[in-house]
Amino acid sequence: MKPALLRWLLWQTLPVTSIAVPIFALFVALYPGPIFWMRDTTLWILILLHGYALHLCLGRPRSSSMAHLYCQGFSRQTLWRHVVVATWLAILAAWIPVAALIWSPARVWIQSNLLDNQRFFVLAPLERSSPVFILIAEMVWMAVLNYAWVREAQPFRGLRGGRWLARLFVIVALLMPFTQWDRIGPSWLVPTAMACWIVVGLIAFWGTFRLQSRMEVRI
């Protein structure tokens, strides 16, 4: 790893992180009930917008900033590794305060004392696993976005599968809260769905790894 390059990439994400942290924290602190990642449309919109904003900062292989770094002598593999690490760190920076609110007594205190939601302390244990699921969901989304952009930067044309995969992800994510599938389905449905999300992310990540060495960089 090259610390200077990683710091520069993280600096590019600072505007997005500085906006996302207070918005996410306020959303979670003021949310009146337990947070379930598969049931809340607003939460999915925040995840999708945050991931897309990070990719506007980091994830476009044919952007002018990527071309500038490539001209400095960094290989495609080096740039890709550092972009992946910077992306993961930016995601953690945005959602760690949310996890701290959920896992500490702070959210229960805010709901009970400031919002007069006296029953929330009974329901609070139901959302303990939500930060982990949120992190997994956004990392899968980032892997899909990265795959879409890297595939479109290949020297051969006509490959639009990555873009359609990203569109399908958005459609599924926004429709999921309306189906209530986690309530009406069998008990094994939720862990199976999470496993499918992880498999999609791993496939997209592996596909990006295989394709990034052939991507075109506009100079």
Q: Is 170 exposed, middle or buried (0-12, 13-18, 19+ CB in 10 A)?
A: middle
Q: pLDDT tier at 45 (50, 70, 90 boundaries)?
A: very high
> Distance between CA 138 and CA 133 in Å, rounded?
9
State pLDDT tens for residues 80-118: 788 889 999 999 999 999 999 999 888 989 888 888 888
- C-beta separation of 30 from 181 below 8 A: no
Structural domain boundaries of the chain? 3-214
Q: pLDDT tier at 219 (50, 70, 90 boundaries)?
A: very low
**DSSP H stretches of helix in the chain:** 3-30, 41-58, 64-71, 76-103, 106-109, 120-123, 130-152, 161-179, 181-184, 189-211
Lowest mean pLDDT among 44-58, 103-117, 119-133, 189-203: 189-203
pLDDT of residue 198: 83
Sign of the dihedral through C-alpha 83, 87, 93, 94:
positive
* Residue 112 DSSP class: I
pTM listed for this prediction: 0.84
